[in-house]
Amino acid sequence: MARRRLPMTDMATGMGTDMATKEEICRQGRRTWRGRRAWRGRRGSATYVDLPEFLVNLRTTGSRASFLKLTISLEVSNPEEAKEIEAQMPRVIDGFQTYLRELRVEDLSGSAGLFRLKEELLRRINVTLAPARVDDVLFKEMLIQ
């Protein structure tokens, strides 16, 4: 029996990208297929690293200031990578602060804005920590004022 090919969607743009089997999709990401319509993360122990709270002023065009308060946890697959994050914490914080200060309120609106923020933070931290790898950026608190 031929494997059914499913359309893949680029989550950042919402555009269809290609066709792939469930197994190909699972190999590309961190997800596995369980059942008819349920995606579940792979089983295993994860280690979480809490970052200090970020409070930054967002870029605005008017005279009124806007602020972003953000609390983040990083998910890593093993404790050795958590130790590497702790050792490189000043670089991680600097990279996040630099990026967050350039955002506008419009950049953070809706679920697509939050998804883009999460993906960009994940990309930046993985570039900073290479060869160590962060699996996910988890928002614990987010406030825009």
Tens digits of per-residue pLDDT, 45-86? 888 999 999 999 888 887 788 898 999 999 998 888 889 899
Tokens representing residue 51 in the block:
């970052």
- Structural contact between residues 68 and 54, judged by C-beta atoms closer than 8 angstroms: yes
Tens digits of per-residue pLDDT, 5-49? 545 444 444 444 455 555 555 555 544 444 434 344 444 688 899
- Structural contact between residues 141 and 71, judged by C-beta atoms closer than 8 angstroms: yes
Give the strand pairing for 47-50 and 38-41.
unpaired
Residues in the chain: 145
Of 65, 68, 32, 70, the residue nearest 51 (C-alpha): 70
Domains of the chain: 6-41 (no CATH), 47-144 (3.30.479)
- Higher-pLDDT residue of 42 and 121 is 121
